[in-house]
Homo-oligomer: A and B are copies of this chain.
Amino acid sequence: MSIKVLLDESEIPRQWYNLAADIKLQPPLGPDGKPLTPESLAAVFPMNLIEQEMSTDRWIDIPEEILDILYRWRPSPLRRAVYLERALKTPAKIFYKDESVSPAGSHKPNTAVAQAWYNKQFGTKVLTTETGAGQWGSALSFACSLLGLECKVFMVRISFDQKPFRKVMMETWGGKCYASPSTETEIGSKFLEKYPDTPGSLGIAISEAVEAAVSDKQGTTKYTLGSVLNHVMLHQTIIGLEAKKQLAKLGIKKPDVIIGCVGGGSNFAGISFPFIHDKINGEQIEIIPVEPASCPTITRGLFTYDFGDSAGMTPLLLMYTLGHNFIPEPIHAGGLRYHGMAPLVSQAAREGLVTPRSIHQLECYKAAIQWARTEGGIVAPETSHAIAATIQEALKAKEEGKEKVILMNLSGHGHMDLLGYSRYLAGDLKDYELPQEDIEKAEAELKDLPKPA
């Protein structure tokens, strides 16, 4: 029995799939409430990526030079979790794409490399970004290192202090990592003056990274984002496109169930969007984005226009949101602690193409431990949400006596996240149910923003 399907480099997908060709998005809005023009984004992003962000072409060629970089770890393996299947005594066949094999340890480099490459083509010399847990900052540092770009990462101070090794990773790849708020920017300096002991926030870090980009008078510094935006989703679809080829090698035309965890939405988009295309064309597939019960953006949030950041500096995006002032509980899956959701994932959920699910933290850690003791690897706390849902589905298949094919995305390893495992094993973690009043608060907060057509 084959438990691993590998593709040769020559079999790598040569085009990304753009879901915006198949479902209709309402446009992002500027501060004036009018649809955003490409030009209004030009201070922040290079024009080639802005075009990609707004494209409705179904297939977009992947430049050869990007493939040449991705070959370091792509095509990634598709593995079958036979050891977990045996432990669960399920008739389901569980396949997973292993994105933990990238040098930075997650799916993030798929878009970091593409964004760095397009920026380099455009003449960018320096890339800025924010990072929470550090996955994205590491991935961008890695990509910039390979392409000879300078990289500046603003890392939320509390994470910076708690995860000093993420900074070391970034520095190993030549990136610069600042605890945010920092003295590198005006916004940061002012904030520090006022609140010298602040733990920082993703909102402030975004503001600093954007300021660092737009304040460069030569225009060769640009800002990058690791999730949420259309072009980020696009770059991740290589995951699902590879998976499709790999399943085909086993004679499997399509999975019955697809599972990925969602924070901003990018790894889920990567594994699922190429199959949403098939679903729109009549295939029967259940596609499940899994989010933390303590940050239930799609399962309990509002579908409306909201800002991408806490400070309200970004354009307004139509998406599922808990409100841009929402402060999620400090669960260990930092990558899933985001108030919003990618507009493409949100729209797919709105149209019933995907069926979101939320799971509590303790069930996720329990699943991750079972995974480690059967399959072997120690996964990221974010990924543990996908594993918990996979176990739910495998047990459901057992109950129903159905030999379902489940496809899961293993978005990253947990080597930098062992503190969470430690606290779980010590019994120090608790589940947290979001009170209904938090949703009502979000409604009140969002009521004066524009509404979708």
Where the two chains meet, the residues of A that have a C-beta atom closer than 8 Å to any C-beta of B are 2-4, 6, 8-9, 71-73, 83, 101-103, 105, 142, 145-146, 164-165, 168-169, 171-174, 369, 372-378, 413, 415-416, 418-419, 421-422, 425
Nearest CB on B from A418, distance (A): 4
Which of B73, B169, B171, B418 contacts A169, CB < 8 Å?
B418
Query: Known contacts A171-B425, A422-B168: does B72 contact A146 (CB below 8 Å)?
Result: no
CA distance A142 to B83 in the complex (A): 14
Is A172 in contact with B415, judged by CB distance below 8 angstroms? no
Is A418 in contact with B103, judged by CB distance below 8 angstroms? no
Q: Inside 8 A of A422's CB, which chain B residues have their CB?
A: 164-165, 168, 171
Which of B2, B145, B373, B421 contacts A373, CB < 8 Å?
B145
CA distance A101 to B98 in the complex (A): 11
CA distance A239 to B168 in the complex (A): 30
Nearest B residue to A377, CB-CB:
B103
Is A72 in contact with B376, judged by CB distance below 8 angstroms? yes
Which of B142, B145, B168 contacts A425, CB < 8 Å?
B168
Nearest B residue to A10, CB-CB:
B2
CA distance A80 to B378 in the complex (A): 27
Q: Inside 8 A of A165's CB, which chain B residues have their CB?
A: 418-419, 422
Sample of 18 more A-B contacts, CB < 8 Å, known A2-B9, A103-B372: A3-B9, A4-B9, A4-B71, A6-B8, A72-B83, A105-B415, A146-B374, A168-B418, A168-B421, A168-B422, A169-B418, A171-B422, A171-B425, A172-B372, A172-B378, A173-B372, A173-B373, A415-B416
Q: Inside 8 A of A6's CB, which chain B residues have their CB?
A: 6, 8
CA distance A422 to B169 in the complex (A): 9
Query: Known contacts A3-B71, A172-B369: does B376 contact A146 (CB below 8 Å)?
Result: yes
Nearest CB on B from A281, distance (A): 32
Q: Inside 8 A of A375's CB, which chain B residues have their CB?
A: 72, 103
Is B172 in contact with A425, judged by CB distance below 8 angstroms? yes
Q: Inside 8 A of A2's CB, which chain B residues have their CB?
A: 8-9
20 contacts between A and B (CB under 8 A): A2-B9, A3-B9, A3-B71, A4-B9, A83-B146, A102-B376, A103-B375, A103-B376, A103-B378, A145-B373, A146-B374, A164-B422, A165-B418, A168-B418, A168-B421, A168-B422, A168-B425, A171-B422, A173-B372, A413-B415
Q: Inside 8 A of A416's CB, which chain B residues have their CB?
A: 415
CA distance A160 to B83 in the complex (A): 31
CA distance A416 to B418 in the complex (A): 10
Q: Inside 8 A of A174's CB, which chain B residues have their CB?
A: 373
CA distance A425 to B378 in the complex (A): 28
CA distance A84 to B374 in the complex (A): 36
Is A376 in contact with B73, judged by CB distance below 8 angstroms? yes
